[in-house]
Amino acid sequence: MQIEEDFRRAWKSSPAAQLLVPDPTSILSLGKENGRLASIAYVAFKRGRLPILDNLVQKFEIPTRGNKSFKGRLSENWLLLPPEERRSGSNQTKAALAELAVAECLKGLGYKIINLDAWDSKSCDIEAVHDKNKYVIEVKYVPDSPEWFSSRVNAAKGEDASKWFSSDSASLNYFFLRIAEAIMQLERCDEGKKCVCLVFDQSAYDEEELLRENIESFEKWSVDPHGEHEGFPTSMPMDQKRKVLSKQPLEWLRNPSIVFIGIMESWNCKFSKILKNN
């Protein structure tokens, strides 16, 4: 295809494309039978947004300063994975890009970025200073759920699509679970004000709005008629689940100094709500 050849020519001068697609001769997209999935870098190029990704990785010096682990997360090898592993593979790349986008958004609010997980931070995703205070920030990227991913793939195949989660309460359970996970990860930080950022995929606008409108009023974990906590992954270790459930959602919300809610739009992060505790 001509567009793929055009991408491979652009690849030669694109640091983002080189990070995401180390081998430009590799597969860039899958056919209808596989839901028309395609490389993130390739899709960005087709939509004229590859320069945004280039700007993002260059601002934070990822080609020269990025560590091996972070570059591994950026690298797109998920198209060659078995169908059941493609979602988690692509989300690794999206989550890594989201961390950089959040850091860029924080800079726009006057935060000075002093370290990143992408560089050599061992404690959190972003370390920053603002008004003489140090902040340690854990970023949780919220992609489409497994159900939603399957729906999009099925829709591309011409099959029936389904909802994200079975109910709004199940979705809110999942979002507060991610907040609790971030707070638990920040327990390893000895200094700095602890902050959590949930940044939603641009296709999850309705879900971002759901959390934004309910984050200060979701008092109790939702339980289905069978006594199960909706929205919790079935693969979640039981000890971790018990720790999360040891506090109600709003109790977890009191822990961090700041909770940022953001959404990705054309690979830029925009904060839609900022909750400050102190």
- DSSP 8-class letter at 51: H
Which pTM does this prediction carry?
Answer: 0.90
* Tens digit of pLDDT at every position of the chain (278 positions): 799 999 999 999 999 999 999 998 988 988 766 667 889 999 999 999 999 999 999 999 999 999 999 999 999 988 888 887 887 888 899 999 999 999 999 999 999 999 999 999 888 999 999 999 999 999 999 986 555 555 545 554 555 544 456 689 999 999 999 999 999 999 989 889 999 999 999 888 888 999 999 999 999 999 988 888 988 988 889 999 999 999 999 999 998 999 999 999 989 999 999 999 86
Q: Which residue has the tokens 């909750």?
A: 275
Sign of CA dihedral 234, 239, 245, 249: negative
CB–CB of 138/197 below 8 Å?
A: yes
For residue 77, the model assigns a pLDDT of 84
Q: Hey, where are the domains in the chain?
A: 2-276
Q: What is the pLDDT of residue 121?
A: 82
Torsion sign across C-alpha atoms 166, 167, 169, 172: positive
pLDDT at res. 204: 85
Q: What does the block give as tokens for 210?
A: 């759901």
Distant-in-sequence contacts of 203-210, Cβ < 8 A, 24+ apart: 203/144, 203/148, 203/152, 204/142, 204/143, 204/144, 204/148, 204/164, 204/263, 205/263, 206/164, 207/142, 207/164, 207/171, 207/175, 208/142, 208/261, 208/263, 208/272, 210/168, 210/171, 210/172, 210/175
Per-residue confidence (pLDDT) for residue 156, from 0 to 100: 45
